[in-house]
Amino acid sequence: MVTLNRIYTRAGDDGVTRLATGAPVSKASLRVEAYGAVDETNACVGLVRLHTAGDDVFDTMLGRIQNELFDLGADLATPPRADEAADQVLRMVDGPVERLEAEIDGMNADLPPLESFILPGGTAAAAALHLARTVCRRAERAAIRLRDEGGEPVGAPAIRYLNRLSDFLFVAARYANDRGKAEVFWKSGATR
């Protein structure tokens, strides 16, 4: 359990924060950018939940996702060590990825085939889901940038989770648009 008695400490006033390990790092570091984008995704999912109240199945899925995003943030905020014991550090695993795939398949079974690109919008829930999807894609890019440009280890399940979550959010947005009936389709060149 985490106890926060004091919210401000002034310790970050010079642009430095601490990772979960206690190591100091610039607030502009690629690692902070990655877990910060995950936090933004989580906030967007919280906004979605305001628009899906009353749908217990959807709310259960989104609540689980919010908890998993906290797990993912903890994973990214804790750089791996060579002597790390698997039971001592919270790391993403493939179970949640597989669950997301099953939920995507379940929602997608009730949707018409997609024959055009869709615009973010329709219902309030769908618009909020599209916002969450785009922020999730940014989190995915940040995690990959941390790995590729920063040369730091990022667990493959973490990247798979972000990729699959953005797919989930896309299909969920379609589902929230009256199971595809209220989608707003892109009209190529319509304003020329």
pLDDT at 20: 81
pLDDT at 145: 96
Q: Note the pLDDT tens digit of each residue in 132-176.
A: 999 999 999 999 999 999 888 899 999 999 999 999 999 999 999
β partners of residue 17: 25
Is pLDDT at 2 greater than 80 in this prediction? no
Assigned domain for 167 exists: yes
pLDDT at 74: 92
Assigned domain for 106 exists: no
Cβ neighbours of 52 (radius 10 Å): 20
pLDDT at 14: 82
Distance CA 98, CA 12 (A): 38
Q: Note the pLDDT tens digit of each residue in 69-89.
A: 999 999 999 887 766 665 566
Q: What totals of helices (H) and strands (E) does the chain contain, helices first?
A: 5, 4
Tokens linked to 139? 């989190």
Give the CATH number for residue 37. 1.20.1200.10
Distance CA 176, CA 63 (A): 16
User: What pLDDT band is residue 105 in, cutting at 50, 70 and 90?
Assistant: very high
Assigned domain for 97 exists: no
- Over residues 172-190, the mean pLDDT reads 86
1 vs 113, more confident: 113
Q: Note the pLDDT tens digit of each residue in 7-52.
A: 777 767 788 888 787 888 888 899 999 999 999 999 999 999 999 9
Assigned domain for 123 exists: yes
Number of domains in the chain: 1
Judged by DSSP in three states, 51 sits in helix
pLDDT at 143: 97
Assigned domain for 94 exists: no
Task: Assess contact for 79 and 19: CB atoms under 8 A.
Answer: yes
Assigned domain for 11 exists: no
pLDDT at 59: 92
Assigned domain for 87 exists: no
Assigned domain for 7 exists: no
pLDDT at 86: 56
Containing structural domain, residue 29: 23-76+117-179
